[in-house]
Amino acid sequence: MSKQLAIEGGAKAVGKMGPHPTKIHVDELLEVLDLWELPAPARKTVETAIRKSAKDIKGPHLFRYYNPRPSKVEAAEKAFGKYIGVPYCLAVNSCTSALIAAMRAVGVGMGDEVIVPAYTFFATAAAVGACNAIPVIADVDDTLTLDPKDVARRITPRTKAIAVVHMLGLPAQMAELKALADKNKIALIEDVAQAAGGSYRGKMLGSIGTIGCFSFDYYKVLNSGEGGFITTSNEWLHTRAQSWHDCAACWRPNRFASERREGELFCGENYRMSELQGAVALAQIRKAAKIVKGYRTAFGRIMNALELPRGVKLQRLSDPDGVVGTTLVMFMPDVEKTKWATKAMVAEGVPAGGIYDAKIKNWHIYTHWDHIMEQKAVAPDGLPWSGVKKSELPAYAPDMCPQTLDYLSRVVSIGISANYSAADCRAIAEGINKVLAKV
């Protein structure tokens, strides 16, 4: 080998290399295929065909940025933004991440208060704490979503945002909540984790407030195993959410350029969605309208066939046309009748369940949020709770939202599948009516 350095005209030490196998190849693809549990002969046929052309296969680039091929995550963002009716849409790895990034984007920080419903999955409140802010818990009403009257009572000079949750696919009372947010110049963050595809007065949920947060975890209307999306019409909030979701700044046109406007760059995290999740999310988004129609049809069929006795009421719908239809809710006259009716319906084969029982842990109800009730902190600095004077903390106590507990303890909920046939719906409604006749 020539001793002369290449920069002085000598021969290069490293000549042409490769070809190297791609980082991810056929073996990984077959592992993914296994998730579909193809029958053995079909699996064998597919594997033989794939292995035959293995040498011609370029592995996928599973990182969304710097992708030499069109990114699936980007395609999913475009498709979901169009479906929700917003110009800006950002894919992330969960709705919890979406909520934190959205709160950070609107500027939530230490000492701020964010109003959350007493009935929501704990993540809505946890996201507030993760921003070092204080979750202020407000009652839900007979819509099982935030009671605007109680929200109005809990707004203080420190309130930075209202995190409204469209629980169980039921649109919240957006006109009243938006008026409150606008009047107090605070952000309205929509947690649409459980209501993708729902709408309110003709506008898609997630396009009405300041910013919308969606979950694509396995149990949601649309899913990619894990995943989430942030939707907004505000370009600046989209930029700041991108900044929080990817501190490596791969999302920027020029990653290392100084900030284009103050507030664009800060110490964020990594919530990027991978191309694998993006591909599954994209396929789900393409089917979204069909999936939601399936839920709505089944919900309508069951609801319209019910014969409610005196004292039993359906949940109040803020917009009957906008309901997703994943769950139908009935309020019984009292707790005893609720327990009995749930048991009797289950015995009939109806997919019924209750919501609140003080003795059964359920992280959808504030009384069971020990992290908040007992003000747990991750570090000795005591944040988020130490961010305000002790006297300024909300009076966290199991009886702080009695209206919520009253409604939740009288709920019989009926789980609905998008795939129920007309006959399934008829049978379920008959089962419910049979029991209700004896309430």
Ligand X SMILES: Cc1ncc(COP(=O)(O)O)c(C=O)c1O
Of positions 165, 341, 411, 439, contacts ligand X by CB under 6 A:
165
- Smallest Cα–Cα separation from 136: which of 171, 163, 110? 163
94 contributes a contact to ligand X by CB under 6 A: yes
Instruction: Name the active-site residue from 220, 313, 361, 390.
Output: 220
Q: Which stretch binds ligand X (CB under 6 A): 17-25, 89-97, 373-381, 384-392?
A: 89-97
In this structure, are strands 113-117 and 159-165 parallel, antiparallel, or unpaired? parallel
Give least dist CB 196 to ligand X, A.
11
Shortest Cβ distance from residue 229 to ligand X (Å)?
Answer: 10
284 binds ligand X (CB under 6 A): no
Q: How far apart are CA 103 and CA 109, in angstroms?
A: 8
Kindly tell me which of 224 and 332 has the beta carbon lying closer to ligand X: 224
- Catalytic: 44? no
Buried b / exposed e along 192-202 (16+ C-beta atoms within 10 A): bbbbbbbbbee
Residue 414 touches ligand X, criterion: CB under 6 A: no
Which residue from 105, 123, 125, 329 is in contact with ligand X, where contact means CB under 6 A? 123
Give residue 280's identity as a one-letter amino acid code. Answer: V
The pair of structure tokens assigned to 249 is 């700044």
CB of 220 to ligand X, least distance (A): 7
Q: Which of 339, 336, 405 is nearest to 367 (CA)?
A: 405
Count the neighbouring beta carbons within 10 Å of the beta carbon of residue 372. 22
Task: Tell me: does residue 224 bind ligand X (CB under 6 A).
Answer: no
Q: Does 124 participate in binding ligand X (rule CB under 6 A)?
A: yes
Q: How far is the CB of 124 from ligand X (least distance, A)?
A: 5
Closer of 238 and 364 to ligand X (Cβ)? 364
Contact letters for ligand X, residues 166-195 (x by CB under 6 A) = -------------------------x-xx-
Is the bond preceding residue 21 a cis peptide, omega within 30 degrees? no
For residue 103, state whether it binds ligand X (rule: CB under 6 A). Answer: no
Looking only at residues 67 through 86 of this chain, which bind ligand X when binding is defined by CB under 6 A?
none
Three-state secondary-structure class, residue 202: coil
Tell me the closest approach of the beta carbon of residue 205 to ligand X, in angstroms: 12
**Following DSSP, what letter does each residue of 334-361 receive, concatenated?**
SHHHHHHHHHHHHHTT--EE----TTS-
Q: Residue 135, interface with ligand X (CB under 6 A)?
A: no
For residue 290, the minimal CB distance to ligand X (Å) is 22
- Which residues fall within 8 angstroms of residue 295, CB to CB, at 6 or more apart? 169, 197, 221, 324, 325, 326, 416, 417, 418
Q: Which span (73-81, 118-126, 272-280, 290-298) binds ligand X, by CB under 6 A?
A: 118-126
Asked if 134 and 147 touch (Cβ cutoff 8 Å), the reply is no
Which two three-digit tokens encode residue 295?
A: 């839920």
The residue from 71, 96, 210, 277 that contacts ligand X (CB under 6 A) is: 96
Vertex 305, ends 296 and 222: CA angle to 5°?
Answer: 20
Picking from 136, 199, 143, 183, the residue whose alpha carbon sits closest to that of residue 163 is 136
Q: Which stretch binds ligand X (CB under 6 A): 75-83, 88-96, 104-112, 286-294?
A: 88-96
Q: Which is nearer to ligand X, 190 or 439 (CB)?
A: 190
Q: What count of residues does the chain have?
A: 439
- Tokens standing for 390? 């002790």
Alpha helices in 15-155 (DSSP H): 26-34, 40-52, 72-84, 95-105, 123-130, 148-154
Among 28, 142, 217, 348, which residue sits at the site for ligand X (rule: CB under 6 A)? 217
The CA distance from 34 to 28, in Å, is 10
Nearer Cβ to ligand X (218/266): 218
* Distance in Å, CB of 336 to ligand X, minimum: 29
**Whose structure tokens read 């048991």?**
343
Q: Judged by CB under 6 A, which stretch of 90-98, 107-115, 134-142, 410-418 contacts ligand X?
A: 90-98
Amino acid at 97: S
Token couple for 255 = 């990653």
Please give the residues from 191 up to 210 whose contact with ligand X meets the rule CB under 6 A. 191, 193-194
Per CB under 6 A, which of residues 19..48 are in contact with ligand X?
A: none
Please state the φ and ψ torsions of residue 8, each to the nearest 5 degrees.
-105, 15
Among 120, 210, 242, 413, contact with ligand X (rule: CB under 6 A): 120
By the rule CB under 6 A, 143 interacts with ligand X: no
Q: Which is nearer to ligand X, 81 or 227 (CB)?
A: 227
Q: Is residue 228 part of the contact set for ligand X (CB under 6 A)? A: yes
Number of residues that bind ligand X (CB under 6 A): 14
Contacts of 223 (CB under 8 A, 6+ apart): 216, 217, 280, 284
In the complex, the residues that contact ligand X under the rule CB under 6 A are 94-96, 120-121, 123-124, 165, 191, 193-194, 215, 217, 228
User: Among all residues, which ones are annotated catalytic?
Assistant: 220
